[in-house]
Amino acid sequence: MYPHLITDNTITIIRDGAISTITSQAPSFSAVLDAIKSGNWDEAVDLMTPRHAVESYVGGSLTIDGGNLYKDGHLIDHAMVSHILTMRGKGFDVAPLMAFLDKVLANPSMRSRNQIWRFVSTNNITITPQGNLLFYKKVKSDYYDIHTGHSYCYTVGSTHSMPRSEVNDDPEVTCSFGLHVCSYEYLRNFRGDRTLICEVDPAHIVSVPIDYENTKVRVCQLTVHSEVENPTPMATEVRSF
Amino acid sequence: MLIEINNTHQSAGLTKVCDFAIETNGVMIKALTSRLYSNPIASIVRELASNALDACRTHPMVVSIPTPLDPAFRIRDFGQGLAPTQMAEVFTRFGASTKRDTNSQIGGFGLGAKSPFALVNSYTIISYHGGHKTTYVASITGNGMPALHEVHRIPSGETGLEIVVPADPSPQWVEALSQIQFFEPRPLIKGCTFDYPDPLHETPAYLVMPSGGAKVLVGPVAYPLAKDRLTNNTIPPIVLKLGIGSIEVTASREEIVYSASTVATLKAHLHQAVTDYRTVVNTLLSGCTNVYDMWRILEGAVLYPEWNYHKDGHTYTVHQRSVSIPTHGYRHVVRSPRRKTWRINSSGSSTLNYYKEDVIYLEDDSRKLQERIANHYPTLPNVISGTDIYLVKDRTHFDRLGIPVYPISSLPYSGTLRNSPKPRTFRIVNSKDKLVPDPGPFTGYLKVSEDLEWRGQVLTGERYNLMSARVGKFCVITPSFRGSLDGMQDIAPIYDDKVHEFWTTAAPRLKEWFSFAGEIVYYQRPLYAACANAGLLPPTPADLSKEPHHHRNWQDISLFCPNLPPLPLSIDYAKEFKNVLQTYPLIRTLFSCTSWTSQDIPAITDIVRTLIKE
């Protein structure tokens, strides 16, 4: 047992003179309490120190400075850090998130990267082990796109692309050129006979238009991953496909 | 903060029953901590930072706001730290303060060090003092009474105090930093990016900030000024500098106590500051010869909503974003599309609101259009506004005021205006009457819009460029067809009959119209652009439909036109625009010429300012 103090809304543990303290609002609060009850004080301290969750990945390109996480010198948005910590807190491997991080940073546009953080913070996202994102898309019964009906045939396994320079990167312009995919929430707003899951490399995301609460994404390349008959919300957890 | 208790109290013939006292219990403690502050986070930042500043004014404190990786608010000063006896006095006694005998320090109520209890039931204090680093935990115990625990002590050569308050990341912490923005030395902020705003104007008595409400600095701590307590007018963002103790603040130090003496003090200082600042601005304005010069002054100035400025016998009403210029002798109907307000004045002494960078005034130098206006709009006022473009029938008055008016024939094109809330075509020019003859050699833009009008497809909402091209320094754009583009649909360039017809007819005409400016290079609708650039006819939609669908993608242009030169797809729009601006100061219209973004506007604004200065 380490010296400690538990109040209604805080837990403080002193281990070797180092203070760890969290509030009851922290995601790991109940887990810390459980660890303390079962006598696992070191585990409790680890749970109270969020940086431990990412420290095993630190080294090389990933660094921690103060309360901030950097990848190749780029500040990682707090929304992404929270996401990593949540995944970690639920016991998931965060390697896919690290792969995702690599791919986001490979995105050539700073505006696009910032919009991806915004998307991550407001939506349930599904990330593949390769760090790609899975989105939804509605198509016609013959798998052709809804807009023109004959431009793109989204058969499962097919990859579609258009030059990045032709995709509108202005998030203020809510409908414009680009291949469109969306989150499950946005899917409800759409007509269409078939629902597809599309895999998108974060580096190929061009913009996240501001309408529909940031749930729609314009990309310059996508691969049709699979078709779902009766779409149900994707869980926030990382899944393997 | 000097706090004197020296009340007059003289009595005779009274028998004192007992003295009042304050019960020390959990409820009272709660009243002095969690119930004291209406904004606990801002109070914690302000109080702890004030204490840190009192402790050390030579070395900047370090303030770390909570992040996901480090969910705690930390503040570290580099003063002398506190000995154990001082710790007990400062952190466990409410109302105990060592600062109330002097106005050189901010504190005095003996409450601030306990402010973290407003948010959490325990926090940590690390004192570096006397060769030791001692860690304490302050907590609210089970009966509601606070207690201080020493938990660790090791030798250390550092000095100072660090307070660690467990807290979850929240934007409120970043907002609270505005409370300490005037601290000197400026605190080092960690965990977020925080830009200290620089004042526009500074004197020993006041600051003028670029934005925000009026404030009063009591020492370094900024308190908002309640407008309704002081004046009926809007108060500009002036920050009065007052010494610690010169006015009273509440025990929570969240606001000023508006006693009669404080109100009088504030009114006097505010009046002095505003008068002084107006003098400064008016002195600068008096040297101006035209409205552009005025803006160079005013864009950096903070003003009352209506600030009359007299010059050359005229009264210029200066607004925060516009200057009203008297236009005697004319009847004007001026509408501001951005503000959706009409200013109609039929008394003959109407004013024209001239907005910074919002408006282009055009002189209609097309004789035939003038005839049309005369025939069809006999009651047309001098200045017509349907959008950000104002058509001027008589430019004499504008010339006298130094307002630039551009001839219509100098426009390289026409189109919808990008940044207007409700973009419209230029109705006078962009007539639906197809029979209007071509008014001149450089007015090809009329034809472009006419064609689109003819199709009845002029965009009024989001715009999609059907055709974009550059001609030397010009950018040429056409409004596009409105598609049913709502929703999640793939909006690849469409090659249908209408588009094909447009390109095969309009592209050669554009090339002809803009031949004066150099070679035209198209860059949107890749297939057609590539063909037009090469002087070839594009494949028809019928041809395209025979091919597999993916051949219609731009990558497969070579299947149809194997000898096409590469497309200029990597155009630097912002750079392009700057080039255009440097040659043609048609500011607003050019905004519609290509697809740079709002992020480019600061750079564009800089260029515009440079142009104006020149």
> Can you tell me the distance from the alpha carbon of B221 to that of B199, in angstroms, rounded to the nearest whole number?
16
CA B473 to chain centroid, in Å, comes to 31
> Can you tell me the distance from the alpha carbon of A11 to that of B539, in angstroms, rounded to the nearest whole number?
72
Give the closest-approach CA distance of B602 to chain A in angstroms. 16
Determine how many CB atoms are found less than 10 A away from the CB of residue A204: 23
Q: Find the closest chain A residue to B63 by CA distance.
A: A66
Which pLDDT belongs to residue B132? 92
A3 chain-B contacts, CB cut-off 8 A: 151-152
Helices (H), A106-180: 110-122
Which pLDDT belongs to residue B407? 56
pLDDT grade for B61, boundaries at 50, 70 and 90: very high
Contact in structure between A145 and A151 (CB atoms under 8 Å): yes
Comparing B324-328, B426-430, B477-481, the range with the smallest average pLDDT is: B426-430
pLDDT grade for B223, boundaries at 50, 70 and 90: confident
Query: Is B12 or A170 the better-scoring residue by pLDDT?
Result: B12
Give the closest-approach CA distance of A147 to chain B in angstroms. 5
Q: What is the pLDDT of residues B258-315, one digit of tens each?
A: 888 888 888 888 888 888 887 787 777 666 654 445 545 555 555 444 445 554 454 5
Structure tokens at B5: 């208790």
B553 chain-A contacts, CB cut-off 8 A: 162
Give DSSP secondary structure letters for B529-576.
Answer: HHHHHTT-PPPPHHHHHTS-GGGGSGGGHHHH-TTPPPP-----HHHH
Determine how many CB atoms are found less than 10 A away from the CB of residue A35: 20
B67 touches chain A (CB under 8 A): yes
**Matching residue, tokens 């404080």:** B262
- CB proximity under 8 Å: A 44-73 to B: 50-51, 54, 64, 66-69
Contact B140 A7 (CB under 8 A): yes
Contact in structure between B137 and B149 (CB atoms under 8 Å): yes
Return the half-sphere exposure (C-beta side, CA atoms, 13 A cut-off) of residue B509: 21
φ/ψ of residue B328, rounded to 5? -60, 145
Query: Is B325 or B521 the better-scoring residue by pLDDT?
Result: B521
Interhelix angle B526-533/B497-513, nearest 10 degrees: 40
> Does the complex come out with an ipTM higher than 0.90?
no
| Closest listed residue to residue A222, CA positions, set A169, A172, A162, A161 | A161
Contact A82 B493 (CB under 8 A): no
A151 touches chain B (CB under 8 A): yes
Amino acid at the residue A228 = V
Average pLDDT, stretch B540-551? 55
**Matching residue, tokens 């003289």:** B10
φ/ψ of residue B271, rounded to 5? -60, -45
A7 chain-B contacts, CB cut-off 8 A: 120-122, 139-140
DSSP letter, residue B330: -
pLDDT grade for B540, boundaries at 50, 70 and 90: confident
| Closest listed residue to residue A21, CA positions, set A31, A30, A11 | A11
Q: What is the pLDDT of residues A64-119, one digit of tens each?
A: 777 788 877 777 888 788 877 777 777 777 788 888 888 888 888 877 888 887 77
Q: Angle CA(B588)–CA(B594)–CA(B598) in degrees, nearest 5?
A: 65
Q: What is the pLDDT of residues B9-52, one digit of tens each?
A: 777 777 878 888 777 777 777 777 777 788 889 889 988 998 89
Q: A169, A177, A185: which to substitute to probe chain B, counting the most B Cβ within 10 Å?
A: A177
> Can you tell me the distance from the alpha carbon of B540 to that of A133, in angstroms, rounded to the nearest whole number?
38
Contact A21 B595 (CB under 8 A): no
Which pLDDT belongs to residue B209? 80
Give the nearest partner residue to B68 out of A10, A81, A163, using CB atoms: A81
A180 chain-B contacts, CB cut-off 8 A: 488-491
Comparing A11-20, A187-196, B398-407, B454-463, the range with the smallest average pLDDT is: B454-463
> Can you tell me the distance from the alpha carbon of B160 to that of A108, in angstroms, rounded to the nearest whole number?
45
Element (H, E) at B587: helix B587-590
Determine how many CB atoms are found less than 10 A away from the CB of residue B362: 24
**DSSP E strand stretches across B221-372:** 221-224, 238-242, 307-311, 314-318, 322-326, 333-336, 341-344, 351-355, 360-363
pLDDT > 70? residue B473: no
Sort B331 into a burial class: Cβ within 10 Å, 0-12 / 13-18 / 19+.
middle
Query: Is B501 or B163 the better-scoring residue by pLDDT?
Result: B163
Say whether pTM exceeds 0.90. Answer: no
